[in-house]
Amino acid sequence: MRLHVSLRLRIYLVLGLLLAVTVGGGAFMLWYGTRIQTFLSGVFDRQVHALDAAMRLESSLAAQRGFLTYYSLDFDKSWLTRLSEQQSAFERELSKVRSFVDDESTRRLVNDIESGFLRLTVERERVVELLNAGNRQGASQIHAAARKRFDALITQCELFLDSLRAGLSRDRAEGLSRMELANTMATVFVPFTLLLGLVLALVLSRQILGPIRRLAEGEDQPAGPDEVAALETRMHGLLERAVQARSKLEKSQATLKAAERMATVGKMAAGVAHSIRNPLTSVKMRLFSLQRSLDLSENQREDFEVISQEIKHLDLIIQNFLEYARPPKLTLARSSPSDVTAAAVQLMRPRLDAQRITVHVEREEPLRPILIDPEQLKEVLVNLFANAMDAMQGPGTITVDESEGFMEPMGRVAVLSVSDTGPGVPEEERERVFEPFHTTKEEGTGLGLPIARRIVTEHGGSISLTQAKGGGAKFTITLPFDSESQGRARWN
């Protein structure tokens, strides 16, 4: 069975080995360097000081021999004083040398030097006594023997020096061997560390950096020197496109739902047209005939009027169903949206006056004529006026603002906004008001605003709902100029 190792584990393994080799090699070199330092320091303290003391021993012996000879010639007491000082110095240096000796053969040699020096001291003192007693012949005989012993001790000191030099050479060879071992270990650690670094670089290049670069490279442009920044830009682009795709999908789903509802409404409308409208027309005609032929009292005439109004309301509901399910085609004509606004206000004037609602039309000048369906656009404005009146439920103000602007991707546009002084629409309900059959009115059909949006959309424009400055509702209609009007708008 093949073992699958994850990318993370492979990177961790290589990093762990690289870290272990680096830290381990560094720790070993530090430990071994400390040992070499200790060794070399010991060699210096022991061998070099021993060599220095041994050379002082030899120098002291030569000085003592000279001082004794000088005294035998001129009997100057100062030579004896200096001889005594050199004797004390020899003893001190011999004590130092003994502390540096660590092998048996050298220790025996030091013992021989010490015993020879003691016998020499006795013979030297005997020579001084004989000289002081005036026995120069006896002193000369003993002095000759002492000179031979001086020579023997100097020879032993030279042998001791040779022994120390040989030890120093051995220590030097050992130090060089240790340094060579340190160099060998460094020679091993460095290539191994480089190998692990190359393995890590290969893993990162093939498993991480390579895929990142391929992801960062666009279809029509290279990634550039900074693959991570390019990948980040590309990922932001992908996220933006994903959000746009999701938005389009949601709109498509909403459109599909609306289409399904339209199909259902179409079937309902066909049934309504055959099953209700014809009998309703017959009832309306009979009611009109009865109203003309009968002598009705005042209360009866009021009842007939209520029945007539309800029949008109039913007829309007049926008409809305039929218009939403089977929308009429646009009849385009070059007309100014300002003229449509004036016609809608004129049509709604009786109801506006009855409710004591004031209409303000704000414009710098009438909007330019563009290709629109005046009747259907008037229906949109009438619907917006009616909704505003129902929302205010009493006196108030409706403001119609007309302007021209530029909007991508439509280009030059005519903008009409209708705002009221009513309570407004909650933010969570603003998009739902354009859904079919969604209404907050007790007697509403929920088709007025969906029909208005369909008409505006068929004109190539858009309609949106926001909050007015005073807190009421504000509907904004945007209508694009046609190609001919676009040209005039740009050059005029």
CATH number at residue 59: 1.20.120.1730
Sort strands 396-407 and 357-362 into parallel, antiparallel or unpaired: parallel
In which residue are the tokens 């190792």 written? 5
The pLDDT confidence band at residue 487, using thresholds 50, 70 and 90, is very low
Look at residue 2 and tell me whether its pLDDT is greater than 60.
no
Separation CA 171–CA 168 (nearest Å): 5
Looking at residue 178, its pLDDT comes to 75
User: According to the model, what pLDDT value does residue 416 have?
Assistant: 92
pLDDT (0 to 100) of residue 176: 76
Task: With respect to residue 234, please indicate whether it lies within any of the assigned structural domains.
Answer: no
Rounded to the nearest 10 degrees, what angle do helices 227-272 and 298-325 cross at? 130
Q: What tens digit of pLDDT does each residue of 142-193 get?
A: 878 878 878 888 888 788 777 777 777 777 777 777 777 777 777 777 777 7
Q: Are residues 316 and 375 in the same domain?
A: no
Residue 215 within any structural domain of the chain? no
Q: Is residue 100 part of a domain?
A: yes
Closest CA to 50 of 118, 130, 106: 106
Q: Specify whether the CB–CB gap between 425 and 433 falls below 8 A.
A: yes
The phi, psi pair for 34, rounded to 5°, reads -65, -40
Residues 321 and 447: beta-carbon distance below 8 Å: yes
Q: Is the pLDDT of residue 441 over 70?
A: no
The reply to whether 219 falls in a domain is no
Same domain membership, residue 356 and residue 318: no
**Segment (H or E) for 427:** none
Same domain, 388 and 457: yes
Angle, helices 49-74/104-133, rounded to nearest 10 degrees: 10
Task: Assess whether 160 and 268 both reside in one domain.
Answer: no
- 181 and 304 part of one domain: no
Residue 267: pLDDT over 80: no
The residue among 326, 351, 383 that closes a domain is 326
In a domain, 230, yes or no: no
Quick one: residue 393, left, alpha or beta (phi over 0 = left, psi -120 to 50 = alpha)?
left
Structural domain total, the chain: 3
| Domain-terminating residue out of 210, 231, 255 | 210
Same domain, residue pair 334 and 320: no
pLDDT at 233 over 90: no
Tell me the CA distances in angstroms from 62 to 57, 80, 145, 303, one per residue in order: 9, 15, 15, 158
Q: Do 354 and 281 fall within a single domain?
A: no
The last residue of a domain, from among 326, 359, 376? 326
- Please check whether residues 262 and 376 belong to one and the same domain: no
Q: Are residues 311 and 195 in the same domain?
A: no
Asked if residue 90 belongs to a domain, the reply is yes
Q: What CATH number has the domain bearing residue 282? A: 1.10.287
Whether 201 maps to a domain, the answer reads yes
- The arithmetic mean of pLDDT across residues 353-381, rounded, is 91
311 and 355 belong to one structural domain: no
pLDDT score at 203: 72
**CB-based contact 463:450 (threshold 8 Å):** no
CATH number of the domain at 422, please.
3.30.565.10
Residue 347 has pLDDT above 80, yes or no: yes
In a domain, 450, yes or no: yes
* Domain limits for position 269: 240-326
Question: Do residue 37 and residue 183 come from a single domain?
Answer: yes
Please give the average per-residue pLDDT across 443-452, as a whole number.
75
Confidence at 265, pLDDT banded by 50, 70, 90: low
- The H helix count followed by the E strand count for the chain is 13, 7
Residue 81 and residue 202 share a domain: yes
**Prediction pTM value:** 0.43
